[in-house]
Structure 1
């Protein structure tokens, strides 16, 4: 382990977070609120960041395990410091609650311990949603975009942070890839803000909801979420952009360079569109008796399917009151998630497609043992290593999920609340069902349960392994160079 380089990179990340706190500080000043809750943590971050990164180490090499450690530690650190403004402002007085809310923000989960959000300060509301926007594409991707690192270790950081089965460069330099990703991300966010303003949404509200949509996070500045506006235009705009941010961002780059054939040939994109269309149709038909007209049912089904499959978590209605069939579909979509390389969470559509193809291939081999069968994805044959990595992810995912459910069951909540609380946090959804439904929250859980669910949120956002490997003693062993004889 190159501990000095790890500390150096985390120091730069802390300095970046200090700069990010200037945005909610400015919002607080504009609304006549105290700037101290943001200024004090920013100064503390600067001191810690400079202490860790004032001198660049001689050895700047970062290998795979170093990249995993950096990503996990960076997300924990930004969450620990990011919780301070909520405590200092009095918006969330208890630190564990503030930490849970901050982790939920950066991991773009959207789960909340707040019973009401409208009483919060404007600066606090802005920071709460701004963490979605920063965490959506990735904290380290953001840092690489504005403070480029050498490509030699940038790739390890990107692979450890960006969700999905595989990550590759869009262009030759890793820093340029980060800039392209955030450039596309920024433009799409601005377009959504403009469209919401055109519909009559106030600027502050438009920015908050655009941040939540872009990061597929779901924090709102209204207690009733998007349902507070009761405007079909907002439902359509936000629902559409949730789906767009759930698509692999590599495909947007292909559109920019006019590689249209690569976009339309994407198996994952086709599967994603098919799942959304089937789920919307099934739910709309199932809830049609609850609303006046099929068009209204279709709109609500479209919005909630878009919100759940992209793991955003916004709500226009209380889907906890929908029929069991519709709620079951939404729970299934929680696990499916969005596309690899998007800002969404979940297992990812790419893994679902690969697992389905692998299962069918194995069943064919049972019928025809001597047949030679190859699993292909996106037009390319998948090697045994790729297939093993998908199976490994699913196995560890299920082990962590089961363990979390067992531990959370000690709270003596009902089964649906316990199961969907873990599912919503680990898949970075936000709301679950029953007590943690769209009209509920996580305030009833004890402090240790909130820390457990915070762990689940971080594990889900970072694809499990970076967080789990922090507990492996071997990752911290520093190998000394062999002595010359």
Structure 2
């Protein structure tokens, strides 16, 4: 295993985090808040460690998917551990476990919070919470690839390990250019939302933090009522952008280069919008008697559906009080998620399409045993490897989900709370139902349960396997074997120097 390259990547990740921490520092200066000192201190720690870890460049800078998964998982753990330090240092979230939960929830774009009074936080803390969504939405390693290109196949292995969806490919021949295009689209959409919200009458600070949360499909709000207190036209702007950030970014690439037929021909994107329209129509009809009119029902339904299917987690209504049929729709949307290649979480629409088409294919084989058919997406046959990976992903998801619900059950909370708490974290959504509804938080869970939910958040954001591979015995055997080999080589070099 190329541990030197993993160490080198982690060092660069810490350097990037140090630079990103300067934004809350500047916010603290503007609002004259003393808490900014702790963000500066954390940035200094990150830059020193990052410099030490990248001081010696690896001789071999090529590595494969295995190393890519390990580097990705460790990068997100490092980001979260160091990213939570300002909360602990400033005592705004004095418990390390709670601070880590909040930070992992931010970077994984989950939006599940332990805070009971979010408005008591300083402006720099509120900005950092929302900014972690924006960082985690597209992925810090995608950003790293855009500025520190790797050699050989390392680029695609890093991108595959971090990007959401069944498969990742190049938009253009060079992976560096693909990463830059993705971040360019991401930044452009974020900036457009900020401008529209400001033009709509929202204060600058609120516009920036809201756009960070929307772009990353995270959902940390800066108000106690999430988004319910804002004007209806602002709610519609956020609804539209939540849905836009749930679209596969390949579609935006095609539109950007005037390949409209490819963009609008993407089967996953079409299915995504059909699901949204059908869900909004059903819930609007179902909750119309609870609202002041049809438009109010449509507004609430569209916002909540957009928030849940894209796994953003903003809320304008306490849907825990909605009819059971509407709640059932929202729970199903939690698992559905957005498109592959978007900033949204969940199982992904493409996987559900592949799984559904696989079932149909199997049924046809029972009826016509001699027929030979292939599962297709966008008119093209899907490789067996992709179908197999989809099936394995779904089975692994079910196992982790079941184990997590069982682990939480020892605390004695009701099944709806435990079930939706796990669903909300592993699908990176935020709010669930019952005790973890949109008007509640996750602070009542024990520290052990919080670590279970933190694992679920990281596993969900990293598509399960990059995190699970850290627990594989082979990885640790190779790691220790590599370390032993390095020690032997160091001893031999010392012997040679003594002989001279």
Q: Does 1:367 align with 2:367?
A: yes
**What are the superposed Cα offsets for residues 82-129 of structure 1, whole Å, 9 maximum, x if unpaired?**
000111122111010000000000000000000111010100000000
CA contact (8 A) 1:151 1:174 kept: no
Counterpart Cα distance in 1 of 2:372 and 2:174:
39
Displacement of 1:396? 0.4
Write the mapping of 1:149-188 to structure 2, written as runs, cut at 5 A. 149-150=150-151, 152-188=153-189
**Distance in 2, Cα, partners of 1:402 & 1:314:** 26
Are residue 40 (structure 1) and residue 52 (structure 2) matched? no
Query: CA contact under 8 A between 1:276 and 1:306: conserved in structure 2?
Result: yes
> Who is 1:393 aligned against?
393
Post-superposition shift, 1:151?
Answer: 5.1
- Report the counterpart of residue 404 of structure 1 in structure 2: 404
Alpha-carbon separation, structure 1, partners of 2:126 and 2:237: 22
Instruction: State whether residues 311 and 427 of structure 2, in contact with CA within 8 Å, keep that contact through their aligned partners in structure 1.
Output: yes
Residue 146 of structure 1 and its aligned partner are, at CA, apart by 2.9
Distance in 2 (CA, whole Å) between partners of 1:28 and 1:331 is: 39
Matching residue of 2:241: 241
- In 1, are the aligned partners of 2:62 and 2:151 still within 8 Å (CA)? no
Specify the SS of the correspondent of 2:350. helix
Provide the C-alpha distance between the structure 1 equivalents of 2:122 and 2:152, rounded to a whole number of angstroms.
41
Aligned ranges 1:259-298 → 2 under 5 Å: 259-298=259-298
The offset of 1:48, in angstroms, is 1.1
Distance in 1, matches of 2:63 and 2:28, equals 39
Partner of 2:52: 51
| Structure 2 counterpart of 1:354 | 354
CA deviation profile, 1:265-306 (whole Å, cap 9, x unmatched): 110011001100110000000000001211110111001000
Which range moves more in the overlay, 378-387 or 219-228?
378-387
Q: Measure the CA separation in 2 of the matches of 1:88 and 1:122.
A: 16
Could you tell me which residue of structure 1 aligns to residue 442 of structure 2? 442
Distance 1:414 1:249 in 2: 39
CA contact (8 A) 1:426 1:460 kept: yes
Describe how 1:138-217 pairs up with structure 2 within 5 A: 138-150=139-151, 152-217=153-218
Larger radius of gyration: 2
Counterpart secondary structure, 2:228: helix
Counterpart Cα distance in 2 of 1:286 and 1:147: 51
Following superposition, the deviation at residue 259 of structure 1 comes to 0.5
Aligned to 2:136: 135
Q: Normalising by structure 2, what TM-score?
A: 0.95
- Looking at structure 1, the residues matched to 136 and 144 of structure 2 have their Cα atoms a distance apart, in angstroms, of 11
Give the equivalent residue in structure 1 for 2:475. Answer: 475
Q: Gaps spanning 5+ residues in structure 1: where?
A: none
Which runs of structure 2 are paired with 1:1-150 in the superposition (5 Å)?
Answer: 1-34=1-34, 35-150=36-151
Q: Which runs of 5+ in 2 are unaligned?
A: 486-500
The CA deviation at 1:27 is: 0.2
Counterpart Cα distance in 2 of 1:167 and 1:382: 14
Q: Which residue number in structure 2 is paired with residue 422 of structure 1? A: 422
**Which range moved further: 381-390 or 144-153?**
144-153
| Map 1:373-384 → 2, pairs under 5 A | 373-384=373-384
The answer (yes or no) to whether the contact 1:304–1:315 under 8 Å persists in 2 is yes
CA contact (8 A) 2:216 2:344 kept: yes
For the aligned residue pairs, the C-alpha RMSD in angstroms reads: 1.1
Following superposition, which runs of at least 4 residues in structure 1 exceed 3 angstroms of deviation?
478-481
Paired with 2:23 and 2:193, the residues of 1 have a C-alpha distance of 19
Tell me the distance in 2 between the aligned counterparts of 1:253 and 1:415: 43
Between the aligned partners of 1:148 and 1:469, the Cα distance in structure 2 is 24
> Residue deviations 1:335-392, cap 9 Å, x none?
0000000000000000000001110110111111111121111221012211100000
2:61 is paired with a residue whose SS is coil
Tell me what 1:342 maps to: 342
- Distance between the aligned counterparts of 1:246 and 1:183, measured in 2? 16
Whole-angstrom CA distance in 1 between matches of 2:152 and 2:227: 41
Moved more, 145-154 or 180-189: 145-154
Q: How far apart, CA to CA, are the structure 1 residues paired with 2:29 and 2:228?
A: 29
Question: 1:222 Cα deviation (Å)?
Answer: 0.5
Mapping of residues 301-316 of structure 1, within 5 Å: 301-316=301-316
**In 2, Cα distance between the equivalents of 1:142 and 1:29?**
27
- Give, in angstroms, the shift of residue 475 of structure 1: 2.0
For residues 287 and 277 of structure 1, the distance between their equivalents in structure 2, rounded to whole angstroms, comes to 16
User: Does the 8 Å CA contact 1:25/1:38 hold for their aligned counterparts?
Assistant: yes
